[in-house]
Amino acid sequence: MSLSKENKYPEIRFKGFTEAWEQRKLDELVLRKKSYPLSRSIETPNSTGYKYIHYGDIHTRVADIININSKLPNINSGNYELLNEGDLVLADASEDYQGIAMPSLLAFTPEYKLVAGLHTIVLRPKKEKVDPMFLYYLIKSPIFRKYGYRIGTGMKVFGISITNVLKFESLFPNLKEQQKISSFLNSLDSALALHQQKVDKLEKLKKAYLQDIFPKKEEMPMISFSNNQGTWKIRKFKDFIKKTGKNNKEGKDYYAYSVSNKLGLVKQSEQFEGSRLDDLSKTDYKIVLPGEFVYNPARINVGSIAYNDSETIIIVSSLYVVLKMNELLNNGYILSIIATSDFINEVKRNTEGSVREYLFFNSFRNIKFPYLNSTSDQKKIGLFFQDLNKIITLTRKKVDKLKKIKKAYLQKMFV
């Protein structure tokens, strides 16, 4: 937590800086510039020499720290007041309080003409008083976020006026220290972006492998893991699975889990504040043995299916479906198959229900999948994707760690 403003310096500070930070109002440090109510209708696929920043693109980070690599929408040409390098463009509307006045920064001089569009506020920093990138990070910090939460208005859509933005007060260091802080945070952002790019590339690589390794028809795939090239056929799960998941009749105190479409099996104590099923008798749960699959019949269409790869018996909601593959299927191989778009399409084709669609066990049995009759080759495929998933998970953890580090610095480098 940052120290109080009475101390006039932040909790974390670079060596060599000792001056007290000074209280400033934002309207002393910036000039207000013009934005226009330009909606998506003005966009064009043609290059016109004009681009714009729409508030929606700020929220999706299409417009964040804008540089030569940023892909902003083209718009029809017009008589507009243009943005300059160093200008900040804030979204004055958001679907949640966290997004109020989320900033973007024009960090270079573009060859095209750039305009601020719908629901935006333009601030032009007085560069002799405030570093534009320091201001960008200050507006992203908890100091300003709390101010936006307190001052924002609205019920379904939350907003903030330019008048209230300019009333914001905070402590500012001298220009040199501002630049040191903004340079450090920008370097952290660059490292974060680099690792996120690695994750994105690995995900694309995995998607390509899934397409090339599993055939859509009874034919040889583009990539084979065996010189023997075992026979591929399109089969249904009904020939290979059985329903399991007995009720925990004795009420044994196993850990309760939920199925997440992103994380697989997750302890309910970690997913929720307390367990949703704390008040239920343990006899209302289903048992999932090691080596069994479990899925949420109402959410398997978005990938909520998981495998108990632990050596521990767990329990899940009685609404879940638990099943086991027979000895003709390698579990790692099946885990790879359920990550394909073809599997999800098959799920959607077999669901039933009008308001909410469900995939019950009898319908799961009819799902088609590419069957390879060599269990040793199945194992090779499963291990290949297991290793690839480990690399992706490790890289994701690096991204998450950098995000936590950045969040901590944003809390402790501003007052």
Virtual torsion, Cα 41, 44, 45, 51, nearest 10 deg: -110
Of 207, 199, 234, residue with least CA distance to 219: 234
pLDDT of residue 272: 62
pLDDT digits (tens, 9 = 90+) for 313-370: 999 999 999 999 999 999 999 999 999 999 999 999 999 887 788 999 999 999 999 9
pLDDT band at 226 (very low <50, low <70, confident <90, very high): low
Please report, for residues 175, 198, 250, 341, 364, the alpha-carbon distance to residue 368 in angstroms, rounded to integers and kept in the order given.
Answer: 64, 33, 37, 13, 9
pLDDT digits (tens, 9 = 90+) for 260-270: 988 899 998 77
Residue 222 has pLDDT above 90, yes or no: no
Continuous H helices in 233-374: 268-271, 331-337, 341-350, 361-364
**Do 215-372 and 22-172 have the same topology in CATH?**
yes
Please report, for residues 23, 165, 167, 202, 235, the alpha-carbon distance to residue 28 in angstroms, rounded to integers and kept in the order given.
Answer: 11, 12, 10, 47, 71
pLDDT band at 82 (very low <50, low <70, confident <90, very high): very high
What is the model's pTM? 0.82
Tokens (6 digits) for 216: 């859509």
Residue 244 has pLDDT above 50, yes or no: yes
* Average pLDDT, integer, range 112-123: 98
Superfamily of domain 22-172: DNA methylase specificity domains (3.90.220.20)
DSSP labels for 362-410? HHHTT-EEEEES-HHHHHHHHHHHHHHHHHHHHHHHHHHHHHHHHHHHH
Distance CA 410, CA 415 (A): 10
pLDDT of residue 228: 56
pLDDT of residue 262: 85
pLDDT of residue 231: 84
- Spell out where 10-119 has E strands: 22-25, 30-33, 50-53, 65-66, 88-91, 93-94, 103-106, 113-116
pLDDT of residue 273: 56
Architecture of domain 215-372: Alpha-Beta Complex (3.90)
Residue 154 has pLDDT above 90, yes or no: no
Q: Are strands 22-25 and 169-172 parallel, antiparallel or unpaired?
A: antiparallel
For residues 216 and 413, the answer to whether their CB atoms sit within 8 Å is no
For residues 82 and 116, the answer to whether their CB atoms sit within 8 Å is no
Task: Considering only residues 154 and 221, tell me which one the structure prediction assigns the higher pLDDT.
Answer: 154
For the chain, which residues make up each domain, given as ranges? 22-172, 215-372
